[in-house]
Structure 1
Amino acid sequence: MWEEVLGSCNGLVLAKDVDDKVFITNPTTREVMEVPFSPFALPEHESFVMYGFGYNSCTEDYQVITISFWDTDNEHNPDCTDMYVCSYSLRENSWRKMSDSPYDHAVGHLTSGILVNEKLHWLTSVMPGYSSTIAAFSLVNEEFSEIELPSSINNDNAVFNELVVVGGKLGVFGTRLGNDLWVMEEYGVGASWIKVSIHGVEIDPVKPICSIEGSDRDIVLGDEDGIVVYNIDDRRCRNVRIEGGPNGFSIGGTYVESLESAKCIIRA
């Protein structure tokens, strides 16, 4: 039984069970492969960890990225503030440690990285002033860069909002924004952020999940009880019923079916 979904890419899902074991699974084929325990992992009860999962087209490899950091309230390690970055290669079936993250990922939520343009994104803070920014980790060159936030977002508490992917584009959403959704139309260009105001939606809290295929005017919104489709132009939403679907939902992100096999990628 999966306790948490940590990421999804090309039909493969990174998930964690109730025993905190991590797996790569294909829900379509029902193939499941356990990710080996990282030799660089910090002690479980003295630290925190956040995940990212994506595909590197240059190496034709899937990677699991972890950012670990000490619990500074823990009496054993009160002064350790480094953010340890490690990478698991599915093709090599092994872990390696990389350069530490220069950002403070401890502020905000322990959310998984949002995958756009072969980069994993987190809302983070820049030390020492703790101003908010979007940290983007490239799976290709394995380096961090910054994505400029929309200029009208309060930079001090932007880290407490949420990153989403809508129609393959990076988005910022949250109740602190009045349920407004900001979408980056051209990746990496700060001036290309546009605001989508969401009005008249009764579900609360609401979260953008994806856009309707072939349309950038219909956005699927969801919460734990169900989903609705919101039209940007009409500012109206319509209920969606999923035949044979569950009564409740755990909204984590989008998934696209495929026959991709994690076990076939591992080198013999």
Structure 2
Amino acid sequence: MLDSFLFLPGDLLIDILAKLPIKTIVRCTSVCKSWYSLLTNSIFIAEHLNFNRSNNNHLLLLRSYSDSDDQEHYSLHDDDNVMFSKYAELDFPLKKNKFDHYFRLIGSCNGLICLSNDQFGYHLFLWNPSIRKMMILPPVRVTFQSHAPHMCSIGFGFGFDSITGDYKVVRMVHFDQFNKPPEIHIFNLCTGTWRNISHVALPHIIINERAPQAFLKGAAHWIASESRSYGRSGFLIVSFHMGDEKFGQIMLPHNIMAHANHFNHLLMQSALYFRVAKLQESLALIHLTGSRDNTCCIWRMEEYGVAESWTKLFSIDMTGSNSVVGFTREGQILVARRDGYLVAYDPEADDSNLVIHGSKHSTYRHSFYAEAYTESLVLLEKRFCVQPLVRKSPGAEAGVVEGRSGAKKSRTGL
């Protein structure tokens, strides 16, 4: 059987192997050295990713927290039916420590998930559950231990640079001395190192450390605040393009700017009232009004980067709910309820469907996470590191760890 494959043209062999289940591809890396070289090549990994994207296998990555075992859980669900049936249960390889309620999920892109083990980013991780690999990122010079008395917040972003084919993590440290510009570092997966790019920082803008990102159009987006020392304060959207590594600014809808400025004295709570998200292929703004009627407004930017194109889509009653988590592929609104359920709400039909059950405890009311997901082979080419994952010291070198992560069941054979 193997001999017959050896006589196939290279392009045809890649086309055949790219259609195999991920678990089968991983096993094929042990067939021979030439197959290992082929299957771990960036060209093949990209080919496999493109096949998965075009195969209409739409998945939704969900993170929830369970009261029964006091742990966070990750799962993949079909994003093509109203029942959101479970596609795979993912075995999360990390254990939380006693100081952290749950890991901060920075973002997900092309099957790769970026996490931080606490709000100060002592450790950052890149995890691909499909191939059971996790990378520990090396430490950054500016840490909580070295700058704690002067730190204001630390923000993170994660995304893909389509120009170079590289994955990047950006880390932004803001200081409480407003006359001191933030320090910006960026991690490149292809080199495995951090670079200081503080010269591109927006000196008078603070990205809230708990502000979720929305990655689209090649850029990460966050809700940010203008520093009072700048002579004014208020909220806006800040973007960071992974290709040219530059920051940009997008204004909020004019109709809610007055309300945004009303909360400018609550800078650390900005993420509770405003957050950005990806709605299909558009930038969306989720606005909790804080009014007595407990309303949440959903806005969509019809023309990217044009503030005048903001359009208000829906206003939904948030009575009995904690937050809007995100959106499904069809545009349904994922809402975290106070009874511990995540539901998909269709504002057009005024109907909702149960997606998953999480925690009812108020500590974990923001632990739900939802985002479109595509299985991939990213990280397959990285070598393993033998150090135990949860016991690495803050100064340890970056490495890749083969853990217990991976799907317990899946139609792709995992």
The two structures have a TM-score, normalised by structure 2, of 0.55
Report the CA distance between 1:59 and its aligned residue: 0.8
Distance 1:209 1:58, change over 3 A: same
Aligned to 1:209: 326
Name the CA shift for 1:44/1:237 in 2 (closer, same or farther; >3 Å). Answer: farther
Find the counterpart in structure 1 of residue 161 from structure 2. Answer: 56
1:143–1:100 Cα change, 3 Å: closer
SS in 2 for 1:129: coil
Q: 1:167 to 1:103 in 2, by over 3 A?
A: farther
How far did 1:223 drift?
4.5
Partners of 1:115 and 1:166 lie apart in 2 by 11
* Residue type at the aligned position of 1:23: F
Question: Which shows bigger deviation, 179-188 or 2-11?
Answer: 2-11
**Aligned-residue identity in percent:** 20
Change beyond 3 A, Cα 1:239–1:247: farther
1:139 and 1:94 map into 2 onto residues whose CA distance is 16
**1:142 partner amino acid:** E
Judge conservation of contact 2:296–2:317 (CA < 8 Å) in 1. Answer: no
Kindly tell me: are residues 223 and 262 of structure 1, through their superposed partners in 2, closer, same or farther at Cα, counting changes over 3 Å?
farther
Show the counterpart of 1:75. none
Q: Specify the code of the residue in structure 2 equivalent to 1:39.
A: R
Q: Return the match for 2:368 from 242, 246, 251.
A: 251
Distance between the aligned counterparts of 2:303 and 2:382, measured in 1? 32
**1:197 equivalenced with 2:314 (yes/no):** yes
Q: Which has the higher contact order (CA 8 A, sep 6+)?
A: 2
Assess, with a 3 A threshold, how the Cα gap between structure 1 residues 230 and 180 changes in structure 2: closer, same or farther. Answer: same
The 5 A counterparts of 1:102-251 are 102-106=202-206, 108=208, 110-126=210-226, 127-154=230-257, 155-156=260-261, 157=263, 160=270, 161-176=274-289, 178-211=295-328, 213=329, 215-216=330-331, 218-223=332-337, 225-234=340-349, 236-242=350-356, 250-251=367-368
If the length of structure 1 is used for normalisation, what is the TM-score? Answer: 0.82
Shift of 1:105: 4.5
Letter in 2 for 1:197: F
Conserved 8 A contact 2:325-2:369: no
**Residues 200, 121 of structure 1: alpha-carbon distance in 2 compared, 3 angstrom cutoff:** closer
Q: Which has the higher strand share?
A: 1
Q: How far, CA to CA, are the matches of 2:231 and 2:344 in structure 1?
A: 41
Q: Which moved more, 1:54-63 or 1:145-154?
A: 145-154
Which residue of structure 2 lines up, in the alignment, with residue 21 of structure 1? 123
Alignment of structure 1 residues 2-41 onto 2, 5 Å = 3-17=103-117, 20-41=122-143
Alignment partners' CA distance in 2, 1:253 and 1:241: 11
Amino acid at match of 1:89: N
Match for 2:186: what amino acid? Answer: S
Equivalent pairs, count: 254
TM-aligned CA deviation for residue 195 of structure 1: 1.0
What SS does structure 2 have at the residue aligned with 1:264? Answer: coil
Query: SS where residue 174 of structure 1 aligns?
Result: strand
| Partner residue, 1:45 | 148
Larger Rg: 2
AA aligned opposite 1:130: S
Structure 1: distance between partners of 2:242 and 2:156: 13
Deviations 1:35-76 (Å, cap 9, x if unpaired)?
111235462523231100000000100000011022x2xxxx
Alignment partner, residue 86 of structure 1 = 185
